[in-house]
A and B are shown apart, each in its own frame.
Chain A
Amino acid sequence: MRLSRRAAIRLGGAGMLAVAASRRRAQAAEAIRIGAINPYSGPMALYGTEVTHGYELAVERANAAGGVLGRQVVLLRGDAANPQQGISAVEQLAPSVDVFAGTYLSAVSNAASDAALRHERIYWDTNALAQDLTQRDLPNFIRSGPDADAFARGSVEAVKGLIAPALGREVKDLSVWIEHEDSIYGSSIAAAQRTLLQAAGAKIAGVGAHPASAIDLTDTVLRARRAAPDVFIETGYVPDGNLLLRTSRDQGFTPRATLFVGTGDTPETLSSLGAAFLEGKLVESYPRPDVAPAYGPGAQDYAEAYRRKFGHDPIAPQGLTAYVGMQMLLEAIAAAGSTEMAKLRAAAAAMDRPLHSYATGFGAKFDAHFQNIRALPTTIQWQAGRQVTVFPEAAAAAGVRLAPLSGRG
């Protein structure tokens, strides 16, 4: 049989393509593929991308050290700005990923993790806060970051351990106003804060709820001002938090201490209010890279790696928590020797790392609902336009001092 030159070229080309495809398949089989479910479009894109930046840095670090189980780790992005998109992103990625990670938005986490279960994939959540995510007891859901309850406890600890001493008062002598946006996020944190503060003996001067999309909060501020609380706690988002602070300024509402929860520590708030007005105000938030090295070993390395890769400072602290969460996931995969759901879950259950093992100051110990009980937020204070970690005391870097809490003296 004779082959024409053209047929020979075609045959040779097809052979080369087949070899290349086979090599690509082999490489793909070797890599551990993680689907990163976050909003990369829509109003939360900035923060979704920031969370995934944390994943990227953790993955790069692991790959530079030889990978996990001798395999490289590859991240695949799944854009999800709402629950429907979360399901769709999981369905799209499921055939080609081993594990899912996420999520900046709790509502997306809820839907996406459910979809991941149908494909028997672990959904490793690093950032979503909603309390009920772990209460569902989904067999594929593990949360490495703090939950809403941790933020509520952290904020109350800040009142007890930071604000009360700074004001020279006992907690039982403090009156506290609890303000929150009225979705499940703000409501659940506020309810827990109220219970914990009452248990600590503090007087609850009032509880207020407002929509995050409110365009006027004067009535809210006037109610709080009438109650004249010593401490004003607010859980919300950036726009309503900024509006609340601006209205407080207009109405001369100056509680002795102001503590924001979850937001209020980003440049968006600084540009809205200015450094002078923010001076002394506190924010309960995800740990930042400025924590003391002994509290969060490697936090500075993260900040430097971030600057090298992205050319600017971290935009929000969520990235560091995501970075640590991805580190924990990769450790769990290494311990499990597999990405199989049951094995990975067992490996997570066996994790027992003390506090201050990671750059956020977190440890790793999962409760029966697979919530990491060693993931704790920290408290920052605005000082001269900078966010400085001040609480817990061990988290504050050397030389950091608490500035006056502002407000009426």
Chain B
Amino acid sequence: MGQIVEVLVAGLLLGAVYGLVALGLNLVFGVVRVVNFAQGELVTLAMYATYWLYAHYGINAYLAVLLVVPALFVLGVLLHRLVLAPLQDEPMMQIFATFGLVILIQNLLLGITQGQALSIDWPFARTVIAFAGVNVNVARLVVFAALTAITVGLHLFLRDTMPGRAIRAVIQDRRAARAMGINVDRVLLLTVGAGAGLAGIAGALLAPIFTLSPAIGGNFILAAFAVVVLGGLGSLWGAYIGGLLVGVVEACAGFYIDPALRQAIWFAIFIAVLILRPAGLLGQVGAEEVGFRGQQ
């Protein structure tokens, strides 16, 4: 029994990593309707920024959030202004442009680091809480808590605030939203900024856990794409539930079947869901048209 709990906890904590990376991806997709392939690289940039602040200024990763998130937000705004907005009438070109950013950011980091792997050996990230025979790393627990808090926060923001309602209006009908006096362009701009900011949070919280390499974003993003599709394109809670589900499936498959098959198993489930319920578990049919749904 104890072992099952250990595996489930490991799965939930892993799922929280996937969910946290998937949130920003899903937000941008849901509102702006662009699949941002560079989301993983934005997480990578945030991880390196966190490392840099820790290594050179001794700023711990959780304080670094206060600097990294605004920086990533600005980067997101620039990304929208300089890359996505000029290509807004050419969706395919937008996707290619974000893919180009992947290569640009990876090579930039390669040039700077020469490919050397970097790590933050921060004492806090080594702390382990033992509860009922289950060991939980505090840094991973923080990721889980952050994912839950951000998901709830975004839900309330979209439901109860005027900017949140404006976003929902833009999602439902851009033309009508514009007619109602909503500055649609500004909503799109701020949403891409917020998506990058979420990547900033993910990067700062993940930096103490992983060994940094320029291509590490790719390790997260493949699973994050699967989470987005599995949970439901454009669904806030879909990203949350989907992330945790993928994490638990992966951990159980790795422990009870074979670690070498864990990704193969959840990809098999992913394909099955696509066939049986193409909109994802919590997605709405035609979500690619409807957009982000966090208010329900």
Contact = CB atoms under 8 A, between A and B. Distances in A.
The judgment on whether A and B are partners is: yes
Interface of A: 41-47, 49, 182, 208-211, 213-220, 222-223, 226, 238-239, 242-243, 246, 249-252, 268, 271-274
A222 B135 CA distance: 11
Contacts of B137: 250
Contacts of A249: 126, 128
A409 to B, nearest CB: 20
B: interface residue count bin: 35 or more
Given A43-B213, A46-B115, A271-B121, A218 B219 contact: no
Contacts of A213: 218-219
9 contacts: A49-B114, A209-B259, A217-B259, A218-B14, A223-B259, A243-B210, A249-B128, A250-B135, A271-B118
Given A182-B260, A216-B14, 9 more contacts: A46-B114, A46-B116, A215-B223, A217-B259, A223-B254, A226-B3, A239-B210, A239-B216, A242-B211
B219 A216 contact: no
A268 B119 contact: yes
Contacts of A268: 116-119, 211
A46 B214 CA distance: 13
Contacts of A220: 254, 259
Interface in B1-60: 3, 6-7, 10, 13-14, 17
B251 interface: yes
Shortest 10 CB-CB contacts between residues of A and residues of B: A219-B254, A272-B119, A218-B10, A219-B255, A209-B260, A216-B14, A268-B117, A43-B115, A242-B211, A239-B211
B80 interface: no
Interface of B: 3, 6-7, 10, 13-14, 17, 110, 114-119, 121, 126, 128, 135, 137, 209-211, 213-216, 218-220, 223, 247, 250-251, 254-255, 258-260, 262-263
Max count, chain A CB within 10 A of own CB: residue among B7, B121, B263 = B121
Nearest to B247: A216
Nearest to A237: B117
B119 A242 contact: yes
A268 B212 CA distance: 10
B107 to A, nearest CB: 8
Contact of B211 (A46, A208, A210, A243): A243
